[in-house]
Amino acid sequence: MFFHIVLERNMQLHPRHFGRDLRDKLVAKLMKDVEGTCSGRHGFIVAITGIENVGKGLIRDGTGFVTFPVKYQCVVFRPFKGEILEAVVTMVNKMGFFAEAGPVQIFVSNHLIPDDMEFQSGDMPNYTTSDGSVKIQKESEVRLKIIGTRVDATEIFCIGTIKDDFLGVISDPGSTS
Amino acid sequence: MHTCDLCACAMRVTMCNHGSSLKRNMCPHPGVYAGMCMRCGQEMDDEFGVAFGYIHKKLRLASDEISRLRDKDLKNLLRDRKLYLILDLDHTLLHSARLLDITVEEGYLHNQTDALPDNLKSSLFRVEWMQMMTKLRPFVHSFLKEASNLFEMYIYTMGERPYALEMAKLLDPGDNYFSSRIIAQGDCTQRNQKGLDVVLGRESAVLVLDDTEAVWGKHKDNLILMERYHFFASSCKQFGLNCKSLSQLKSDESETEGALPTVLKILQRIHRLFFDEALEDNLEDRDVRQVNLSQMAECTLSFLIKALVLKTVRKEILKDCKVVFSRVFPTNFPAEQHTLWKMAEQLGATCSTELDPSVTHVVSTDAGTEKSRWAVCENKYLVHPRWIEASKYTWQKQPEENYLVHAKNK
């Protein structure tokens, strides 16, 4: 799920950046430091949309660096247990398949794939129904439900299922949408 | 029966209690992905089950699940009439050497591809970012192509993952043979030992091709030992071989008679014996290790027979010669125990310490000894000891004229 929230961060700036472009340099450094990172609480910080407030700078003893508390608005992405997501399949093997929804990596084990789908090995490994009508392979889009999430410094991992109603393949990679 | 939406356990319960820890505990926890059970999402121990990092770095599987996957996979594989084949990299399918270990004599290997000899153009690769060179073993592409029809193949190396992946690109540029089945040093569960515990194939259907026996301690019956491939000079020194390497001799293993074509025939034979339709038992009950062992026993037997044949042939080389040695052995040394005496007897000659009319050759380094002078007088051959050695190494009686010993000019 996406959120548009306000976060705060203390930015340290070297005195050589002081001058006319101080605020721009601060914002540029903020974007470089923060966009693309992950936190357990907020999830994946996708993009900074604006700066709400830059507080007064505090000179640090001994180093000369200055710390500015910055409040900024950003779009974050965080998967939740029970959430329904759409993802693109990246790898299929006998244990299940791996899919990606943006920065989130999801694993759907074959225990959570409907029983009527069988694994077929070969050049393009896939899961197919017995009548061949539904096929999950690399690049397929699937709708899945999140069963569990785990966040580390730069990545989010999830366990997913497609065993419920209305879950499964959205489109075939070969067909036009 | 009720399936819980939250944990999708699909376990039979009479009363659903969302988030109840009781339900979670009923899940068999077949495996773990990124620290979560792949079936119920519960947080699991980091050390749960066996790590299958080569498939996905965050994947771990419980032993029951591993068995279940193995059994299921075997059914599919046997239906396609295939078995599993695990391939080692270094000295089995290829040979790598660091750039700084390339000797001066091997300098020609640094040339541009067009300037290389034909046989190296498509089998010698320079991996700049790893600062090394790799030579693929002759016949390796044909080997992999043929073997892929009979086996699902794995790479299993004691090298590190980046190296393994780079070599896989050279051996399998089309990603047809191995896909994610590349096992490296970091995947081993035991240090310095390769194990089939990280292979998703039943042990009774796995064959291993490796040049090193010691690392396969627990699975010797699955192993087919390969002759080591040494191309670069660096490893000749490492393995204590005192000869020039193939690269220094500007030579290579035979494309048709080398180790890979030979072992391919063995693999095809084992495959044929395993899938023998005449046998009455189920395919799933058969054990490829037994076929491998009987194949090895046959090889040993044929090797022993060959050795016997060679011994008989050798005895023909100097069969009509009677040899006496002069000033070749140290005094008080029992002549019959000297290497040269035994060598001459191996070649079929009769050796003696006494002169008599039946003697045909006197072997000496000095033309001035009593026995040497007798030989010249009686018109017998007076030859240098090297005559015996040369006859041994060339498998035929050398012309004595090339090894005559002449009197020193006074």
Based on the fold, state whether residues B332 and B358 are members of the same structural domain.
yes
Residue B281 CA to residue A91 CA, distance in Å, equals: 37
Based on the fold, state whether residues B222 and B96 are members of the same structural domain.
yes
Based on the fold, state whether residues B231 and B109 are members of the same structural domain.
yes
B95 within domain boundaries: yes
Q: Does B2 touch chain A (CB under 8 A)?
A: no
Closest to A75 in 3D by CA, of A113, A42, A112: A42
Based on the fold, state whether residues B274 and B378 are members of the same structural domain.
no
For residue B12, the model assigns a pLDDT of 45
B73 within domain boundaries: no
Residue A82 CA to residue B202 CA, distance in Å, equals: 37
For residue A78, the model assigns a pLDDT of 92
Q: Which of A109, A121, A163 sits opposite B38 (nearest CB)?
A: A109
CB within 8 Å: A96 and B59 = no
Is the pLDDT at A145 greater than 90, yes or no? yes
State the total domains in chain B.
Answer: 4
Nearest-5° angle of CA B282, CA B288, CA B294? Answer: 115
Based on the fold, state whether residues B115 and B159 are members of the same structural domain.
yes
Question: For residues B373 and B335, is the Cβ–Cβ distance under 8 A?
Answer: no
CB within 8 Å: A148 and B56 = no
Residue A55 CA to residue B57 CA, distance in Å, equals: 42
CB within 8 Å: A94 and B7 = no
CB within 8 Å: A98 and B56 = yes
Q: Does A51 touch chain B (CB under 8 A)?
A: no
Based on the fold, state whether residues B118 and B184 are members of the same structural domain.
yes
B377 within domain boundaries: yes
For residue B193, the model assigns a pLDDT of 93
Closest to B359 in 3D by CA, of B404, B400, B330, B323: B323
B274: three-class secondary structure by DSSP: helix
- Percent of chain A clearing pLDDT 90 (strictly above): 69
Identify the CATH number of the domain in which residue B237 sits. 3.40.50.1000
Model pLDDT for residues A6-53, shown as the tens digit of each residue: 999 999 999 888 889 888 999 999 999 999 888 878 899 999 999 999
Residues from chain B that touch A157, judged by Cβ atoms under 8 A, are 33-36, 58
Based on the fold, state whether residues B101 and B219 are members of the same structural domain.
yes
Q: Which of A94, A112, A150 sits opposite B35 (nearest CB)?
A: A150
Q: Does A10 touch chain B (CB under 8 A)?
A: no
B23 within domain boundaries: yes
Q: Which of A111, A150, A157 sits opposite B30 (nearest CB)?
A: A111
Q: What is the pLDDT along chain B (410 residues), one digit of tens a residue?
A: 445 555 555 554 434 444 444 444 588 999 999 999 999 999 998 888 999 999 988 899 999 999 999 998 999 889 899 999 999 999 999 999 999 988 888 888 888 877 888 888 889 999 999 999 999 999 999 999 999 999 999 999 999 999 999 999 999 999 889 988 999 999 999 988 999 999 999 999 999 999 999 999 889 889 999 888 989 888 876 666 667 788 888 888 888 888 999 999 999 999 988 888 777 788 888 899 988 888 888 888 887 888 888 888 889 999 999 999 998 888 888 888 888 999 999 999 999 998 999 999 999 988 889 999 999 999 999 999 989 988 888 888 989 998 888 876 54
Based on the fold, state whether residues B143 and B229 are members of the same structural domain.
yes
Question: For residues B186 and B161, is the Cβ–Cβ distance under 8 A?
Answer: yes
Alpha helices in B80-225 (DSSP H): 118-121, 140-150, 161-171
User: In the Cβ-directed half-sphere of B248, how many Cα atoms lie within 13 Å?
Assistant: 15
Distance from CA of A104 to the nearest CA of B (A): 12
Average pLDDT over residues A149-174: 85
Contacts of B315 (CB under 8 A, 6+ apart): B346, B347, B348
Alpha helices in B35-172 (DSSP H): 63-79, 118-121, 140-150, 161-171
Locate the chain B residue with the closest alpha carbon to A95. Answer: B69
ipTM of the complex: 0.82
Based on the fold, state whether residues B205 and B237 are members of the same structural domain.
yes
Based on the fold, state whether residues B184 and B224 are members of the same structural domain.
yes
Average pLDDT over residues A60-89: 93
Q: Which of B13, B28, B61 is the last residue of a domain?
A: B61
The 10 Å Cβ neighbour count of residue B209 is 26
Question: For residues A68 and A11, is the Cβ–Cβ distance under 8 A?
Answer: yes
CB within 8 Å: B38 and A107 = yes
Residue B74 CA to residue B84 CA, distance in Å, equals: 9
Q: Give the alpha-carbon dihedral of B54, B57, B58, B62, to 10 degrees.
A: 20
CB within 8 Å: A148 and B200 = no
Q: Which domain holds residue B30?
A: 2-61
For residue A75, the model assigns a pLDDT of 95
Average pLDDT over residues A106-115: 94
B116 within domain boundaries: yes
A88: three-class secondary structure by DSSP: strand
Q: Which of B34, B42, B73 sits opposite A157 (nearest CB)?
A: B34
Locate the chain A residue with the closest alpha carbon to B70. Answer: A94
